[in-house]
Amino acid sequence: DVEYDVIVLGTGLKECILSGLLSVDRLKVLHMDRNDYYGGDSTSLNLNQLWKRFKGDGTPPANIGASRDYNVDMVPKFMMANGALVRVLIHTGVTKYLSFKAVDGSYVFNK
């Protein structure tokens, strides 16, 4: 029995920015995703989520550490410090939930 002005499907970066901008404009937004995690194809997964996505059933071996110790980006994300995206994130207020950090290193696994 609830009405929404907009329904946004997916939690990728574009969908989250769109949802945030619409919310800032006082629209009532329903934001949904079919996955049990945020981020769509460019999500960051902990060890349990990574295992489920690529190995299916079961759990990762205990000797490789705790799930929360892992944060694997499916698509590495970089933002220019003074770019338009940063200005949009500041405008929507989501920076309260984000952490920005200079890059210490980047490793890419391919096959």
Identify the DSSP state of 44: E
Q: How far apart are CA 69 and CA 47, in angstroms?
A: 8
Q: Does 103 reside within a domain?
A: no
Q: Does 1 reside within a domain?
A: no
pTM of the complete model: 0.55
The pLDDT tens digits for 46-88 are: 899 989 888 888 899 999 999 988 888 887 667 667 778 778 8
Q: What is the C-alpha radius of gyration for the chain, rounded to an integer number of angstroms?
A: 17
Q: Does 104 reside within a domain?
A: no
* Banded model confidence at residue 1, pLDDT cuts 50, 70, 90: low
- pLDDT for the residue numbered 28: 95
- pLDDT for the residue numbered 32: 94
Domain count, the chain: 1
- pLDDT for the residue numbered 8: 96
Q: Could you tell me the residue range of the domain that residue 44 belongs to? A: 6-97
Do 80 and 63 touch, CB atoms closer than 8 A?
no
The pLDDT tens digits for 4-23 are: 999 999 998 889 889 989 99
Q: Does 65 reside within a domain?
A: yes
Q: Does 109 reside within a domain?
A: no
* Banded model confidence at residue 29, pLDDT cuts 50, 70, 90: very high
